[in-house]
Amino acid sequence: MAFLGVEQSLTGRAWIGPDLPVERAAETLAQHTQLPRPICQILARMGVPPEGADAYLTPTLRDLMPDPRSMRDMERAAERILTAVRHRQRVAVFADYDVDGGSSAALLMTWFRELGAAAPTLYVPDRIDEGYGPNDAAMAHLAAAHDLIVCVDCGTLSHGPIAAAQGADVIVLDHHLGGETLPDAFAIVNPNRQDEDGALAHLCAAAVVFLALVEAGRQLRAAGQNGPDLMAMLDLVGLATVADVAPLVGVNRAFVRQGLKVMARRDRTGLVALADIAGLDTAPTPYHLGYLLGPRINAGGRIGQADLGARLLGTTDPHEAAALAERLNTLNAERRDIEAKVRAEALAQCEARGTDGALAWAAGPGWHPGVVGIVAARVKEATNRPAIVIGVEDGIGKGSGRSVSGIDLGAPIQRLAAEGLLIKGGGHKMAAGLTVEEGKINTAMSRLSELLAKQGADALGPADLRLDGALMPGAATVELLDQIEAAGPFGSGAPAPRYAFPAMRILNARRVGETHLKVTFGEAGGARLDAIAFGAFDTALGPELMDHGGASFHLAGRVEINTFRGRQSVQLRLEDAARA
């Protein structure tokens, strides 16, 4: 039965409340642990038993850290990196142009610097001219001047480019889905290699790099030396984990929780400059990492100079950091404008094609390759379907895809590449990239749709809105939010709780910017609460609540603390509504 009887909300969704087993598990948790009911509700949803509650609420690296040597080639990779340090060899870091790649590169650069070794050469490929991952020309050029090349967040499928690195050893530290065969590299450390057991498949590339440095530290201690303070580098691992939408399960929870604590100390020069220019004046949260800092770091790789993000994260010079942060902030604003245009065209194309199949896709001439991934995410959200968006230039399409829960996109993309329908393609379950000849786009997308349909993607309905229960405005206090936060961090794989506020009166509603809505709501004669609905006027939510006519509405979303001029208040991040 739909929660509060809402079978079709203003955004077309059914509301689903906690099922009976979760309610029973929450009751059991409350009885055995004496924890507040909201926390028990979250723990029950995540499948945490009473005896595991304390460990879940206080995730520690000591308890959750995997043995780095459980991954193939790890010892060999760490030994080779230490050999390069000891023999003062020339090292290059080849990094992807996103937050995960930039964080991975910054980890290595920081580690080399704190070890007193020569700084590695940083190489980040241009998204438009070179595309994702190593290429023959760049690898050959780096190999001619370096003894060791470390590829981070890329390289697992780069057979040709790694073979082109004649005269240099190549180490790959990656997390993207591996193929049936691996390149002939010195070492390939990747929890998503075909010959791994998948136990660490949830790690982002920066986490893999971090574990490689943990192993290097172990080898240094065995030789009677001390290595750099790795705990102080967890801000980069936490940032990459959230920005790359890695699931917050297992050790990832500890990485993010500890990383946020490190970031709050404001020790990393580049992140301080970026946080200041982004207006982040409170302790950082996963939301800030994913929506304030991450997009700005990504902006260089999307529409500007590809290495700006990695350089910002790695610098210790306040003047350089301020200049890089300013440039990235400007590029991010430009990116938003470009994205809005492409998003409108892509959504119109998808609607014309129909969104009841297994795949929502769009392709257009001149669409900037740097925004197709973001637009694919927006199309996925609008259709609840795996989505591919392709920009075409000079007869070649460069696209990016995003998937929905339960549907693997990376494996079918790899299969299309193996079948010759793509020039190249790869990724992981939730995200993938591809390059395709313009004349093969229709055929490739038809085949991809066929493969996704076999996973059930064509049977998906509108995404239900899952709720953890109902609240009244008077119960939504800062103290309650502090209790809920104890069950975090929240993000992919561990969503923040959502609550419904039943039969609320709209006391005030006003438009903010182009598409957002600010609302004050409450009970008749009772407590009131403020809400913000981002993008409300892109759906029926904005117009309906603006013209409420005195009607009562059920309101739903995530409750959060809003800090303004040092004062804290509770705010609803409004996601949906239905007439009461």
State which residues of the chain have pLDDT below 50.
Answer: none
In the three-class reduction of DSSP (H, G, I as helix; E, B as strand; rest coil), residue 533 is classed as strand
The closest alpha carbon to 172, from 106, 231, 104, belongs to 104
What is the pLDDT at residue 125?
96
Residue listed under structure tokens 């290097």: 216
Domains of the chain (ranges, CATH numbers): 64-329 (3.90.1640.30), 354-459 (3.10.310.30), 467-579 (2.40.50.460)
Report how far residue 447's alpha carbon sits from residue 453's, in angstroms, rounded to the nearest whole number. Answer: 10
pLDDT value of position 237: 98
Q: What is the pLDDT of residue 562?
A: 84
pLDDT tens per residue, range 401-448: 999 988 999 999 999 999 999 999 988 888 899 999 999 999 999 999
**What is this structure's pTM?**
0.90
pLDDT at 545: 96
- Per-residue pLDDT at 539: 87
Q: How far apart are CA 320 and CA 121, in angstroms?
A: 18
- CA dist 126 and 305 (Å) reads 7
Q: 219 Cβ partners below 8 Å, 6+ apart?
A: 75, 78, 79, 82
What's the pLDDT score for residue 232? 98
Taking CB atoms within 8 Å and a gap of at least 24, the contacts of 154-159 are 154/94, 154/95, 154/96, 154/101, 155/94, 155/183, 155/185, 155/188, 156/182, 156/183, 156/188, 156/190, 156/192, 156/193, 156/426, 157/133, 157/183, 157/424, 157/426, 158/133, 158/134, 158/183, 159/183, 159/184
Residues 311-325 as b or e (16 or more Cβ within 10 Å = b): bbbbbeeeebbbebb
Say how many Å lie between the first and final Cα of the chain, rounded: 16
Task: State the residue for tokens 């039965």.
Answer: 1
DSSP state of 87: T
